[in-house]
């Protein structure tokens, strides 16, 4: 099971939009969603949670090294560059 953490400012609103978009795009690509699990959090919580995840997607710029790949997920809010961001997620998780 690959674990993805989606983070935004509060851990509620934009992370939900991004998560839904990521899930939909991965399904469209034929990814088996039963092999993935998603959680949401606020950006300040990333350092304390990162070790439990295979990938982190943020809706804001995040530069801190937390030991796991971090992908900027702004594309999932703007609908610009979503395919490229999904490619990065698939590559980071070796799906």
Active site residues: 8
pLDDT, residue 44, reads: 96
CATH code of residue 56: 3.40.50.2300
**pLDDT at site 11:** 85
What pLDDT shows up at residue 91? 96
Q: Residue 42 in contact with residue 65, Cβ under 8 Å?
A: no
Which of 69, 93, 5 is closest to 43 using CA atoms?
5
Number of domains making up the chain: 1
CB contact set of 17 (below 8 Å; sequence gap of 6+): 76, 77
Predicted confidence (pLDDT) per residue in 5-56, tens digit: 999 998 889 999 999 999 999 999 999 999 999 999 999 999 999 999 999 9
**pLDDT of 95 strictly over 90:** no
- Rounded to a whole number of angstroms, the distance between the first and last alpha carbons of the chain is 11
> For position 1, what pLDDT does the model report?
95
Domain containing 51: what range? Answer: 2-93
pLDDT class of 69 with cuts at 50, 70, 90: very high
């Amino acid at each position: 099971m690959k674990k993805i953490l989606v983070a935004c400012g509060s851990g509620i609103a934009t992370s939900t939009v991004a998560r839904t978009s990521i899930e939909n795009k991965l399904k469209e690509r034929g990814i088996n969603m039963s092999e993935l699990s998603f959680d949401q959090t606020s950006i300040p919580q990333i350092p304390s949670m990162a070790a439990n995840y295979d990938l982190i997607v943020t809706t804001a710029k995040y530069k801190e090294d937390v030991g796991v790949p971090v992908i900027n997920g702004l594309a999932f809010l703007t609908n610009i560059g979503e395919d490229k961001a999904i490619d990065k997620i698939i590559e980071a998780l070796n799906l």
